[in-house]
Chain A
Amino acid sequence: MSLAQLLSHLRALPEMVLLAGACALMLVDLASKSETRRLSYLFAQGVLLIAFCATLFVLSESEGKRYYIFYGLFVSDLLSHVLKLFAFITVSAVLVYARPYLHERGLLKGEFLTLLLFALLGILVMISANSFLSLYLGLELLTLCLYALVALNRDSAASTEAAMKYFVLGALASGLLLYGMSMIYGATGSLLFTDIGPQTAALAASSSSMRTLLVFGLVFVVAGIAFKLGAVPFHMWIPDVYHGASTAVTLVIGTAPKLAAFAMALRLLVNGLPALAVDWQQMLVVLAVLSMALGNLAAIAQSNLKRMLAYSTISHMGFMLLGLLSGVVGGNRLNAVDAYGAAMFYTAVYVLMSLGAFGVLLLASRQGAECERLEDMKGMNRRDPWLAFLMLLMMFSLAGIPPMAGFYAKFAVISAVVQAGQLWLAVAAVAFSLVGAFYYLRVVKLMYFDDPAGVAVPAGGGSARWLLSVNGLALLALGLLPQGLMALCQAAIRSL
């Protein structure tokens, strides 16, 4: 192997840093005696920072070009860099939010930090995957870590049950995905998305039996993706896992893995199977409409905030799928950058909102009292006006009310749908947004209109509070000036 070849592997530097860091963390944690795990925590944040810088370095070094390394298994393009940067920021914020919560419950152990970093490694691998193999590897690394994280609170029956449920359903979904991949592999003889793309185009055009095989494979692949995103009818795990896991772990599951799931959908469908766009777009229509309908309607009936946010996730992923399905119109990819860019913007903003909403729950449930039922939000404005205001920003953003960032996310997606000529889908999307607005408003109502119930929770503080403020105000700022992030997303999509 020549030196140049060896050096080219440095494009996976962020992954290498993270892997080394995660392994070292296990050793460092042995030396971390204190209850607060100060050393391990700082070490983990340090690893994230170095990996972040490594990504920036790789990004600046690549000069906007796309590179394949490890025999094509691994792709390094702008999309992957941007999504990885988002992922680092997200996980870093997760650590800040989760630390005081976990500490108070005696759950702040080295395992949490290590599993989190390994999960992040899985996310990175998925984001950069250019082959069924590397994609699956990343996916399994991520989900195995998540199963363990959900079960972290061993003494809680709800957590254990949620972990079990997650594991069984997750294994089933992985099986479906693998089955679909094997069919597509059987038809095309390749595992690399870059090869599968042109191959499927030729095959689908040449023989109908091959096309049938491909479509069968596609169905299973789409089902696997839908499971990871939590789209109806593969959503069953979401409410139970969100509810059962401790809030800190819910925060982990509800944020960064969405970026990976988005990348997976994009790489598999848009990169790998563009020739079958007509087929998978139709499937996504069904998934999207069902997700928006069920997610929004079921969220109304919830009395538990975590469950409500779980159903809201389902509806948001449905909305995001609307962007993915309006890229190709009549075999024409003119709308692709707008549509996929909109979906990416949506995902990024959603992650930010979800981070903030669960962050508020974490901060509000300090001092022993869990804050996860709707009643717990009562009179928040009296108890802690600033936290209530931040939650208000999150809720209006989730509801898609301007001038919050959530509005532009919805706006961009609906715009893509309208440009794709699917007016009825756009009307359905806005109708379900209206339904969704109701339960977000209910949270605002509880916080602002109702009198405080129960014990007053003293204002938690420290870095989590600061970061949460930044998080909430970022949503407002992105709502007022969305062009930067939007341009970034579109540039990333163009690199695809």
Chain B
Amino acid sequence: MTHAPLLSLAIWVPIVAGLLVLAAGGDRNAPLQRALALAGALLGFLVTLPLYAGFDLAQPGMQFVELAPWIPQFNVHYHLGVDGISVLFVLLNSFITVLVVIAGWSVIGSRVGQYYASFLMLSGVMNGVFAALDGVLFYVFFEATLIPMFIIIGVWGGANRVYAALKFFLYTLAGSLLMLVALLYLYGKSGSSFAILDWHALPLSLTAQTWLFFGFLLAFAVKVPMWPVHTWLPDAHVEAPTGGSVVLAAIMLKLGAYGFVRFTLPILPDASRELAWLMIALSLVAVVYIGLVALVQTDLKKLIAYSSISHMGFVTLGFFVFNAWGVEGGLVQMISHGFVSAALFLCVGVLYDRMHTRAIADYGGVANTMPRFASLMMLFAMANCGLPATSGFVGEFMVIMGAMQKNFWLAFAAATTLVFGAAYTLWMYKRVVFGAVANAQVAALKDLNPREALVLGLLAAAVLAMGVYPLPFTEVMHASVNELLRHVAQSKL
């Protein structure tokens, strides 16, 4: 099949746009840089649309494949392709990038070019992670995401940004370095191949699978993040600028979860089944315990960060119950969380830009002065609790159904998230938005400007659309997920 190199475009358009923005000079040229960044982000999003339009629903394998030799000494290829599992994330990523560029329009005043260049390059690199079909290529993209995010947190972040940036970088690097050893081991085992799809078919002993499982686990668990290696996330979220938080929550956390479906499950099916109890236990800890931790947070961003960890626990739970409900539910939850967490962080950003505080206690009665904002945030809060007709419901419902098929009590424990999630989200919403006007600052608040309204409105539309009619999202996944489950069911021993 011949086609335009759409995936390459999805990766390189934002990166080249980022370089152009960087080349556009210093802050004197900020308007030009903003325009360039927006053009780059929009173009980057446009080139991903044909991926969805031209996607063959019946085909479970890789589509839009590009293959070229890269480092012949190590048999490394520039090998790209997407299946039903990954294609949506490329779209989501490019979509969120556009929003981030718009959201930072007037907020970022210093080093504008570097800010936008970081986000655009990050976007391209993350598309690369989702599209890479070669182990080394995957690793390169996976690691390269660290550099721009490190800069974003460290340069435009809050008071404690240096600590947060370093912690973020070192935690993630610690995890992924072991993955490198695992990749090299697989390279040796498979007779000098770095093709991920070859590894899917590679027979491995249970001992080898178990070791590899833990090698990958650390890398992905840090990224997801799973309890107990989650502690970098609240710090990173709190200190990152709004755009950084959005990308971190909406896309970057998905890299880890995606790693589980692309590497752990198909390459190590026996170890995955063998150790599913561990993954389920860690996921439940995230869902229940972290949900409780979120309840007592006094910082808006921290609360949403913990809520993210809790929701990502749902994703990993869904993956390791090994049925179509669970895996698809996990994937849907990932996309939904991409919209909802992005929206919530943007909401916090809207408030922070006006009040310069994230403490819940400083707010109260925002609904009186910002009615439009309050109603939009209401929608996102509801989606975060998993209210039916919002996107949050679909994923959680599917995962609970999947868990139910496996074990009633598992489903019961997972379903407590609906209670905790509602508790911390709505309580937070109540304290911030409802009640009497808390202080003079709140009284002076101005409602959303058109730019903010546009960004939040787009996300609101996405959340509602996905909640009311999720089929366009799920039908893309079906074939690939079924193929994955069929593959995982077979022993490799």
Chain A interfacial positions (CB closer than 8 Å to B): 338, 341, 381, 385, 396, 401-403, 407-408, 411-412, 414-415, 418-419, 423, 426-427, 430-431, 433-434, 437-438, 441-442, 444-445, 448-449, 481-483, 486-487, 490
Contact = CB atoms under 8 A, between A and B. Distances in A.
B174 A427 contact: no
B interface residue count range (under 10 / 10 to 19 / 20 to 34 / 35 or more): 35 or more
A441 B144 contact: no
Interface in B162-200: 162, 165-166, 169-170, 173-174, 177-178, 180-181, 184-185, 187-188
B166 A431 contact: no
B151 A448 contact: yes
Q: Which 4 pairs, one residue from A and one from B, show the smallest C-beta to C-beta distance? A: A430-B177, A402-B140, A418-B184, A449-B154
Contacts of A396: 147
Contacts of A441: 150, 166, 169-170
Nearest to B169: A441
Nearest to B175: A434
A426 B215 CA distance: 13
B2 interface: no
A428 B174 CA distance: 12
Nearest to B154: A449
A401 B177 contact: no
B180 A411 contact: yes
A437 B146 CA distance: 12
A431 B176 CA distance: 11
Given A415-B184, A430-B181, A486-B73, A401 B170 contact: no
Given A401-B144, A411-B74, A448-B151, 9 more contacts: A396-B147, A402-B139, A415-B187, A427-B181, A430-B177, A441-B170, A449-B154, A449-B161, A490-B73
B155 A426 contact: no
B184 A426 contact: yes
Contact of B178 (A403, A408, A427, A438): A427
Contact of A401 (B114, B143, B151, B181): B143
Nearest to A490: B73
Interface string B68-87: 00111110000000000000
B140 A407 contact: yes
A380 to B, nearest CB: 12
A426 B140 contact: no
A449 B26 CA distance: 17
A402 B185 contact: no
B166 A438 contact: yes
A377 to B, nearest CB: 14
B154 A483 contact: no
A414 B184 contact: yes
Contact of A402 (B143, B165, B169): B143
A445 B165 contact: yes
Contacts of B146: 401
The binding surface of chain B is classed by DSSP as helix
Most chain A beta-carbon contacts within 10 A, residue among B73, B139, B143? B73
Contacts of B72: 483, 487
B162 A434 contact: no
Contacts of B143: 401-402, 407
17 contacts: A385-B26, A396-B147, A401-B146, A402-B140, A402-B144, A414-B181, A418-B185, A418-B187, A433-B177, A434-B170, A437-B169, A437-B170, A437-B173, A438-B170, A441-B150, A449-B154, A486-B73
Contact of A403 (B71, B140, B173): B140
Given A402-B144, A411-B180, A430-B181, A448 B155 contact: yes
Given A411-B136, A444-B150, A434 B166 contact: no
Nearest to A342: B73
A437 B172 CA distance: 12
Interface string B109-144: 001001000000000000000000000100111011
Interface in B432-474: none
Most chain B beta-carbon contacts within 10 A, residue among A338, A402, A407, A434? A402
A448 B152 CA distance: 10
A495 to B, nearest CB: 16
Nearest to A396: B147
A379 to B, nearest CB: 11
Nearest to A417: B184
Nearest to B139: A402
B184 A448 contact: no
A338 to B, nearest CB: 8
A415 B111 CA distance: 40
A303 B145 CA distance: 29
A336 to B, nearest CB: 14
Given A401-B143, A438-B170, A430 B180 contact: yes
A292 to B, nearest CB: 13
A325 B147 CA distance: 32
Given A418-B184, A430-B181, A434-B177, A401 B155 contact: no
